[in-house]
Chain A
Amino acid sequence: MADQPLIFARDLVKRFGDFTAVNGIDLEVAPGEAFGFLGPNGAGKSSTMRMIGCVSVPTSGQLRILGMDPAREGTAIRARLGVCPQLDNLDPDLTVRENLTTYARYFGLSRAESGRRADELLEFVRLSDRAKGKVEPLSGGMKRRLTIARALVNEPDLVLLDEPTTGLDPQARHLLWERLFRLKQRGTTLVLTTHYMDEAEQLCDRLVVMDGGKIIASGSPRSLIETYSTAEVLELRFPDGLDLNGDYAAKLEGVGERIDPLPDRVLVYADDGDAALAEVHRRGLTPSSVLVRRSTLEDVFLQLTGRTLVD
């Protein structure tokens, strides 16, 4: 039982008319994992999440959530899921605490138990002092934390987070990550979608990269970086780079393992960024700015698709 995957999908397809949102994906998510879907807008992440959340019926393929069939046992599955949707759907006319207690009641919890969990969760997402206040004046980060608290009210076996930090400022994102990390440490299984590389690296044990409805790569963040990129990346900007980055790329031929000219900069993939930079200088090139950094999932995505992720 413990080894049974919480999510199991084979050749899962979702079509809307002529448009194929999810085009035959395979998935397995084990208990306790933090699993991520990474990809640009329109990659099929949210459609997949909606199928996992049992509010969208797969067009074809096999899907089992918590060992059950969403088509027949959707209600029983949803009773054990926690869902944090991409768009906030809190009740604006209820108080912060009432948002949790009314939602807890949807899971059949008693009034007393609903109240107890609401207080506990408000503590967890650090909103206890706003319990009696309205939802409307809360900041975006607070609303998202409240939505996450709401998703935890039924003590779910599986928490689905659809772009949990999209639209939040950096400080709010970090606080949210910290809370999600704590959840993960408690052994809660998290499944999240994101188009932020740093988010995926921070939170996910394992992830799949999606593009055009397909999974184009999967693994741990580290293994993906090792497979599809180099340890370090050297970013070079040239004063006249805008039109000439292609030419610079030609001159950099052989420096590092791979050269990628982007409109605003040239990326040099190398396991030793400083050594690559020394070679750049040795060739008499004088970039106006230089950055040696660790390789990220952004580089993985660029390598896999030839496109940057957020544009």
Chain B
Amino acid sequence: MTAGTLHPTLAVFGRQLALYRRLWQASVFSSFVLPVLFLVSIGIGVGRYVGTLEGVDYLAWIVPGVLASTVLQISMGESTYAVLGDFKWSRAYHAMRATPVRPVDIVCGHLLYLVLRAEVAVVAFLLVVVFFGGLHSPWSLVAPLVCAVLTVATAAPVTAFAAAIDHDSYFALLYRFVVIPSTLFAGVFFPVEQLPAVVRPLAYASPLWHGVELCRAATLGRVTAWPPVVHVGYLLLWAVGGVTLAVLAFKRRLED
């Protein structure tokens, strides 16, 4: 037996990369093209009617929102069917379980891969946005870091959810009642202050809003209304809670 040199989490990460090398074409549209189309159509198209918002042109205002919601899309896209499929259809997780790879390695390897996926999309998006004059501050360099935390904060709980269910029809509910409302009302396209006061707590509860707030502060170079540590802390809470739940769900599903 050769002594182990590679951490099992990285081995799982490596498997995801090998898959990505085969399937990356399919993700180009949703990860790169779609966010840019969003930005152009809404930022410039709708922006013409909106003019400026909170003192900046509308395009620059929604850049961080589209950025964070792209991260959410990638989290969702890769943690729903892909995770359930590796339990039910390919049974790849069962194959891993028969090796020294532990449930915590599977979860962490998966999330590490998603962070990479999100970062590639985030950096590509930011590079495009520079040409539109959408970044107003060198603090924009912090945005990818925020997006990494947001990736884990959203992907980990969804991964836990996917590992706990037995049928993919639950994903439709997740999209309908969580993802789409978050994207619409968590400060991506307009400030949450414009929502009725009774609905606002829902936006505050959403990790997406905290990600949007931090990204917006970064790209526009201004301070957040709430202390940044609250936003970061809240996202970390989702990340840690999500990872814990996901590891438990994986254990329950792979061991008896």
Residues of A within 8 A of B (CB): 16, 50, 53, 55-57, 75-76, 78-81, 83, 85, 87-94, 98, 101-103, 105-110, 113, 150, 154-155, 157
Contact = CB atoms under 8 A, between A and B. Distances in A.
B8 interface: yes
Scoring A92, A93, A105 by chain B CB atoms within 10 A of each residue's CB, the highest score goes to A105
B14 interface: yes
B99 A107 contact: yes
Interface string B1-24: 111111110011011001100110
Given A55-B255, A105-B14, A89 B95 contact: yes
B97 A91 contact: no
B18 A98 contact: yes
Interface in B1-53: 1-8, 11-12, 14-15, 18-19, 22-23
A15 B19 CA distance: 38
A103 B1 contact: no
A102 B102 contact: no
Interface in B71-94: 90-92, 94
Interface string B229-256: 0000000000000000000000000111
Nearest to A87: B91
B98 A57 contact: no
Nearest to B101: A106
Scoring B19, B94, B97, B98 by chain A CB atoms within 10 A of each residue's CB, the highest score goes to B98
Scoring A79, A92, A108 by chain B CB atoms within 10 A of each residue's CB, the highest score goes to A108
A108 B19 contact: no
Given A78-B98, A78-B99, A89-B91, A108 B255 contact: no
Nearest to B109: A106
8 contacts: A85-B94, A85-B98, A89-B91, A94-B18, A94-B22, A106-B8, A106-B101, A109-B6
Nearest to B255: A55
A75 B5 contact: no
A136 to B, nearest CB: 11
A81 B2 CA distance: 13
Contact of B90 (A75, A92, A103): A92
Contact of B22 (A93, A106, A113): A93
A75 B102 contact: yes
Nearest to A82: B98
B96 interface: yes
B100 interface: yes
A88 B90 CA distance: 8
Nearest to A105: B11
Nearest to A153: B99
Contact of B100 (A50, A102, A108, A110): A108
Given A91-B90, A93-B22, A55 B97 contact: yes
A78 B90 contact: no
Contacts of A109: 2, 4-6
A76 B90 CA distance: 25
A90 B11 CA distance: 16
A138 to B, nearest CB: 14
Contact of A89 (B90, B102, B256): B90
A108 B3 contact: yes
Contact of A155 (B1, B12, B255): B1
Contact of B1 (A53, A55, A79): A79
A50 B97 CA distance: 11
Contacts of B95: 85, 89-91, 103, 150
Given A108-B8, A113-B2, 9 more contacts: A76-B100, A78-B98, A79-B1, A79-B4, A92-B90, A94-B22, A103-B99, A106-B100, A108-B2
Interface in B90-123: 90-92, 94-102
A91 B7 CA distance: 21
A107 B11 CA distance: 8
A107 B100 contact: yes
B18 A83 contact: no
Scoring A83, A98, A107, A113 by chain B CB atoms within 10 A of each residue's CB, the highest score goes to A107
B256 A91 contact: no
Given A16-B256, A109-B2, A155-B1, A102 B14 contact: yes
A9 B111 CA distance: 38
A198 to B, nearest CB: 27
Contacts of B256: 16, 50, 55-57
Contact of A105 (B1, B6, B102): B6
Nearest to A147: B95
Scoring B8, B95, B101, B256 by chain A CB atoms within 10 A of each residue's CB, the highest score goes to B95
A110 B14 CA distance: 12
Contacts of A78: 98-100
Given A53-B98, A106-B100, A113-B2, A91 B11 contact: no
A75 B91 CA distance: 20
